[in-house]
A and B are shown apart, each in its own frame.
Chain A
Amino acid sequence: MSIELGHFALILACAIALASSIGGLTLWRSGERLASVLAQSAILQFVLVAVAFLAVVQAFATSDFSLALAANNSHSLKPLIFKISGVWGNHEGSLLLWILILVLFGALVAAFGRRLPADLLNLVLGTQSLLVVAFGGFTLFTSNPFARLAQPPIEGADLNPILQDIGLAIHPPLLYAGYVGFSICFSFAIAALISGRIDQAWARWVRPWTMLSWIFLTLGIAMGSYWAYYELGWGGWWFWDPVENASFMPWLAGTALLHSALVMEKRNALKIWTIFLSIITFSLSLLGTFLVRSGILTSVHTFASDPTRGLVILAILAVLIGGAFLLFALRASALRQGGLFAPISREGALILNNLFLATAVGAILVGTLYPLVLDALIGTTISVGAPFFDLTFGALMAPLLLVLPFGPLLPWKRADMVAAGQRLIGAAGLAIFLTILVSALGGVSISLAPLGLLLGFWVTFGAFAELIERGKIGRIPVRESLRRLAGLPRSIWSTAIGHMGLGLTVLGIVSVTAWETELVTTLNPGETTQLAGYSLAFDDFSQIPGPNYMADTGHFTLTAPGGGTTNLEAERRTYVASGMPTTEAAIATFGLSQFYLQLGEPLDNTHVVRIWHKPYILLIWLGAIVMAGAGVLSLTDRRLRVGAPQRATKHVMEPAE
């Protein structure tokens, strides 16, 4: 009965959301009484959807195949962790997770938003409930996770083996938290447009939500990239796959939003642009979530390819996004612009940042959708591949990275470029020196590598310029400098660390792109091969049964140039239920570099073996983690802490950025 109770809980939650959205969006002037009803409703929605979600998790955990979803996606022999993560390894279940996170964020606003003006809270919770109705209705009527089987099969159909990985337990929840978190910014934007009121308090509320969502999205994308890297067995970490692009676009837009909300909060400028970005970011999130499910794309991410669902999705997207932009067009002019500034200023730098990021989003959007549109209109199939994206995105990012270190050094309103430049001379010198050194030592295989390296070092070191300036490092005693650094607002630290993280990622990308070496060869057990100074010996080959698969395992010994040896095991698995093969690459880590080995198909006694040496590849994901960490640090800044009470007087020096 728990499954049916879960089903009922989901329907009840949608009914409550429907009433909330009608009440919130029509009676939003009703003040505190309505606000407390809507807050209660948001919390009820969360509790009920959580019950629904747990009912599905329980059905998966106990292999209750009377739930069609479990029968189609689970298997009684799967380890428990994969049974649970299998809940969202499919279209219906992942929608349920999406809704769970949506109502969780709604409940958080209800819980922490007691100090928000009642009108704003009513509109925000009303909009949030409208989203719950749209996605809840879509789930219940076209993709119901609670469909039952009166006569359950003895055994389930199993989950796609590629998804039977710890990555599935982490990547989608993080990514969805990121996508869905931007719904809060969207709801705040809609609320501002409807009420016609937008001020710095609004920006101060939106920024932590943007930051929180951005952190999740950053980690989600990085995790997805690393997962693809080690699981898909091709050794690549980014494919410009439409679905990757779909997650990357909201990230870029969210990054722009993060910076424009800063301008709005500090200087009360860029209001309309910030609202616009809030809508764009969430619209791109929706596109990301639903492009996957519409059946117009095919990739590892594709769940549903049912034309009816596709049409409903299109209708939901059209109503939500179209409605939001219509509202924007009608109401944006009613919002008052404020805050004047000179072109060369912190504001100017942040606008430049937004300009480049928005253009990059546009380029990726065109590259992703153009083939689909072309296919639909004139039936020509073209493929916009990595070269297009590498070129356009690279060309857009290079100038952005070039000016990035200047941004934090420029004062608000009016700034002196030369003064900022002077403070960056050290970083520039260090970057040039290291680039020449590395290029001389490493040998240059593609012509753009030194430029990329230079940019990476420049961003990484430039990030510290403000800290050095503020800490007066080198100009006063070290102890005094450390005291000053420790006393700096966390927002300054998080800016520096966040930008440094970006620099690290750039360095990783450049290093792998330019200096990666690869080898494809056939190898018999007992033979040895060489790559990049490493020596790889194929020791033996055996067949080992796993819990729900059979594995052909190759045992290798890798000898590093320095002399240390590592044992590697690369597998080819065949899953019992589906008969599908997967490859499990063996990865050996040396510092920040990795040695990647994939066992190919056996040919009698010989095996095709693919080997890559990937110098400093870990910097790519390390950079992302550093960026997310900087975001967390920024959230702990008192100024931004969600729901933190404001002190009546300020004793601590405020950041004067």
Chain B
Amino acid sequence: MAFAANRLIEGAAFLKAGSKRPEPMIFWLIAIAVTAIACAALLYAGRGRPVNAAGDESADTTSHFRQLLAGIDSDLAAGKINADEAIGAKGELAREMIRAKSEAKPAAVGLGRAALVSGAALVAAIALGGYALLGSPNIPAQPLASRADVAAQNMDIDAAISRIETRLAEDPNDIRGWTVLAPALVQVGRFTDGANAYGRVIALSQPTAQLLTDQAEALLLAADGAGSDEAMTLLRQATELDPTDPQPQLYLAAELTRTAKYDDAARYWQSAIDLASGAEPWLPAARQGLAVAQNDGVDTTASDQAEMIGGMVESLSTRLYDEGGTIEEWTQLVRSYIVLGDLPNAQKAYDASVAAYPTAFERGELDTLALSAGLKLNGDAQ
């Protein structure tokens, strides 16, 4: 959907007479002004207007000791300490105060004008340079309120299609118009028209594997998946043009399998699988298709799979009953039995997991699963 919309926005841009973008110049002017103000504020603060009055520190320390002294006196008055203890405490306080006063103050270092100015220059350079590196001053703000109009204009696919069609009726050789139109027609479900539009693009330019495949795809969609001769020819051409593209070969293999031409089908399946790098989402389906074609249409994988699942459930259950496991593993086991339709074993596994996890709090998902499959909650967990 997003893909088609983007193509259409492109199309609209090509139909309309350009779009307006705010000049980033104003932005840079503001940015430079803000930087200048910030640097000026820093330089102004460094002019030497003292913030901390001299002697403040010692006054602060003195008042602190005075408080402690008052504390000792009040303790004495309240009878919490006796006179000897008070004298001892005052002595300790005095020693502490003398120490604080005599502690050598580190030598002060001057702050030169040069340091200040170079600091401010550093700030300006890093800020403006950093923004030039990271920012995108060209992108305008696009809040919903303003975007809604643009979106409404662009999103009305049918209107856009008809506008492009009108224009193409006047100038049927406009290849760009057909290029935009073809995927949009497929997107809105006009497959035959889409195939025709791809045909126009191919006629007006060089046929490429991608274009041929796209056209064939539109034809396949128009015929509900059944491959016409035309579509098959297009796909074979595409494969010849670009033997490294698995897409047309997959379509060919699927159609040949459907029409029971297993030898050809197996060849295309194998060829597509050979082209895969291993992470393709269609790979499992292709392997299954190959297996079906090689067995002349009999799907043997289904019974193999069931056997495999059975084996996995068996080993999971043995491990859980012997060694225990997490609640997720128990849930997995119960779910597997339910899926296999083995309700007695599911109930047994459920009982065992309830015994292992007696608090309902921990069994949220499991309880839902079990109760929905008609299992019973036994035991003392209620």
**Which residues of A pack against B, CB within 8 Å?**
1-5, 7-9, 11-12, 14-16, 18-19, 22-23, 27, 29-37, 39-41, 44, 48, 59, 62-66, 76, 114-119, 121, 140-141, 144, 146, 148-154, 195, 197, 199-201, 204, 233-236, 268, 336, 338, 383, 411, 413, 518-520, 522, 600-601, 603, 608, 610, 639, 646, 648-650, 653-656
Give the number of residue pairs across the A-B interface with Cβ within 8 Å: 236
Given the known inter-chain contacts A36-B45, A520-B360, please indicate yes or no for A44 contacting B38, CB distance below 8 A: yes
Over the window 346-379 of chain B, the binary record of Cβ atoms lying under 8 Å from chain A Cβ atoms (1 yes, 0 no) is 0000000000000111011001100110000100
Chain B residues with CB under 8 Å of A44's CB are: 38, 41-42
A35 to B116, CA, bound (A): 12
Given the known inter-chain contacts A200-B64, A383-B326, A520-B367, please indicate yes or no for A63 contacting B144, CB distance below 8 A: yes
Given the known inter-chain contacts A519-B382, A656-B80, please indicate yes or no for A65 contacting B372, CB distance below 8 A: no
Chain A residues with CB under 8 Å of B205's CB are: none
Would B361 and A236 count as touching, CB distance under 8 A?
yes
For residue A458, give the distance in angstroms from its CB to the closest CB of chain B.
Answer: 25
A114 to B131, CA, bound (A): 33
Would B70 and A522 count as touching, CB distance under 8 A?
no
Q: Given B61, B70, B122, B155, which contacts A199 in the complex, CB threshold below 8 Å? A: B61
Would A121 and B52 count as touching, CB distance under 8 A?
yes
Would A1 and B130 count as touching, CB distance under 8 A?
no
Centre residue among B31, B56, B144 by max chain A CB count within 10 A: B144
Would B371 and A603 count as touching, CB distance under 8 A?
yes
Would B46 and A34 count as touching, CB distance under 8 A?
yes
Number of interface residues, chain B, beta carbon within 8 A: 90
Given the known inter-chain contacts A204-B64, A519-B382, A608-B372, please indicate yes or no for A66 contacting B141, CB distance below 8 A: yes
Chain A residues with CB under 8 Å of B116's CB are: 37
Would A153 and B2 count as touching, CB distance under 8 A?
yes
- Residues of B62-110 at the interface with A, using a CB-CB cut-off of 8 Å, are 63-64, 66-68, 70-71, 74-75, 78, 80-81, 89, 96, 99-100, 103, 106-110
A4 to B22, CA, bound (A): 13
Chain B residues with CB under 8 Å of A22's CB are: 119
A650 to B382, CA, bound (A): 64
Chain B interface mostly helix, strand, loop or mixed?
Answer: helix
Chain B residues with CB under 8 Å of A118's CB are: 52
**Which residues of B pack against A, CB within 8 Å?**
2, 5-6, 9, 22, 26-27, 30-31, 34-35, 38, 41-42, 44-52, 54, 56-57, 60-61, 63-64, 66-68, 70-71, 74-75, 78, 80-81, 89, 96, 99-100, 103, 106-111, 115-116, 119-120, 122-127, 130-131, 134-137, 139-145, 147, 151, 155, 326, 359-361, 363-364, 367-368, 371-372, 377, 381-382
Would B67 and A654 count as touching, CB distance under 8 A?
yes
Q: Given B60, B70, B111, B130, which contacts A30 in the complex, CB threshold below 8 Å? A: B111
Would B71 and A654 count as touching, CB distance under 8 A?
yes
Would B63 and A32 count as touching, CB distance under 8 A?
no
A204 to B68, CA, bound (A): 12
A234 to B93, CA, bound (A): 57
Besides A12-B35, A518-B361, A653-B78, 13 other CB < 8 A contacts?
A9-B34, A12-B38, A14-B126, A35-B52, A37-B45, A59-B141, A76-B144, A152-B147, A154-B147, A200-B68, A235-B361, A654-B70, A656-B75
Would B126 and A15 count as touching, CB distance under 8 A?
yes
Chain B residues with CB under 8 Å of A601's CB are: 368, 372
A151 to B367, CA, bound (A): 46
- Chain B minimum-CB-distance residue to A121: B52
Would A29 and B130 count as touching, CB distance under 8 A?
no
Chain B residues with CB under 8 Å of A31's CB are: 108-109, 111
